[in-house]
């Protein structure tokens, strides 16, 4: 039924639920998993809320991104390995996570997206996070939203 399932993650507890569901579906259908971490675009300023509090060199941003991606994607890799499911991890940087998710789903020929109802930013909408809403509205493949 499914061949390649995209599971975007931000490392939140909500993403962890999506990983559980995505891995179970992959195992049941013989699909592989593409784990995706969309890192924030590099910026020289570090913010605390809306207030700039520090400056960050591009190398520092790259290092932070690499560490976060490794940690978050390792959780998916471990779950996939535990169930004998093929896994590929992908990290991209961008200002618009929903756009990056849709682009990677298309580029990697994913036929299902399994994602959290909302992530680290909390509830941006009444029921769904704003990035999830954008993916649902624009996706050409099925999207399973996990709460």
> Using one digit for the tens of pLDDT, what is the confidence trace for 23-76?
999 999 999 999 999 998 887 777 777 777 888 888 888 898 999 999 999 999
Maximum CA extent, the chain: 49
Q: Indicate whether this model's pTM tops 0.85.
A: yes
Q: Which of 140, 37, 84, 143 is nearest to 132 (CA)?
A: 143
- Mean pLDDT, to the nearest integer, of 130-137? 93
**Which tokens sit at 96?**
């618009």
Contact in structure between 111 and 4 (CB atoms under 8 Å): yes
> Using one digit for the tens of pLDDT, what is the confidence trace for 67-126?
999 999 999 999 999 999 999 999 999 989 999 999 999 999 999 999 998 765 543 334
pLDDT above 70 covers what percent of the chain?
Answer: 93
């Amino acid at each position: 039924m499914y061949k390649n399932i995209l599971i975007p993650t931000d490392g939140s507890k909500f993403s962890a639920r999506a990983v559980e569901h995505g891995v179970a579906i992959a195992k049941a259908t013989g699909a592989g998993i593409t784990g995706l971490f969309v890192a924030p675009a590099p910026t020289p300023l570090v913010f605390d809320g809306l207030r700039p509090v520090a400056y960050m060199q591009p190398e520092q941003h790259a290092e932070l991104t690499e560490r976060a991606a490794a940690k978050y994607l390792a959780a998916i890799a471990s779950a996939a390995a535990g169930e004998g499911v093929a896994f590929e991890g992908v990290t991209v940087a961008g200002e618009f996570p929903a756009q990056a998710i849709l682009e990677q789903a298309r580029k990697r020929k994913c036929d299902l997206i399994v994602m959290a109802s909302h992530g680290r930013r909390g509830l941006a909408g009444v029921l769904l996070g704003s990035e999830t809403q954008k993916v649902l509205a624009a996706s050409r493949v099925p999207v399973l939203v996990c709460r």
